[in-house]
Structure 1
């Protein structure tokens, strides 16, 4: 038939190889980088006697963004352990990218 839809072939069993492990390691490296930014932000406040309110608010925001990123990354790393991990949604990807950008901006604001 010319107008019929092609039949979907059955998918073979997934052989993930080392790809999930590499992805988990990438998530861990990214989480470590974000943790380093949060630690350096806290160190900046501790080293300055009487930091201004802007710096204190920026550090609080860094910690909040870091916790959000840590939670999302942890969920994603756990998802990598399944046989066929779910696709990262556009909403989650946008939120994670926003967390990384916010950490960069807040880290720069604390240093200046």
Structure 2
């Protein structure tokens, strides 16, 4: 009698733990396809080729913590765009810092 009671209690407790743990399994998902936080929309003129559109596409499909930084683009006033992408960094903050530093270095250089 006691053995049956113990088995039923154990199964009930384990089933309850499984129900509570199941929602946490789905939260660890890939970051691929996620734009994350942005300060302004990134728009490239139609037919744009070059490093910046390629870097932005790579940023969007990266599976880890990644960041994309670019100078603001205006067709009227800007002749060039400087950009940088850091893909699959150890953390979001590290990716953002590296992308910003690289972009700022490009602005100083040109």
Using the size of structure 2 for normalisation, the TM-score is: 0.33
Q: Which has the higher helix share?
A: 1
Higher RCO, 1 vs 2 (CA within 8 Å, ≥6 residues apart): 1
Max Rg structure:
2
Q: Which has the higher strand share?
A: 2
Using the size of structure 1 for normalisation, the TM-score is: 0.32
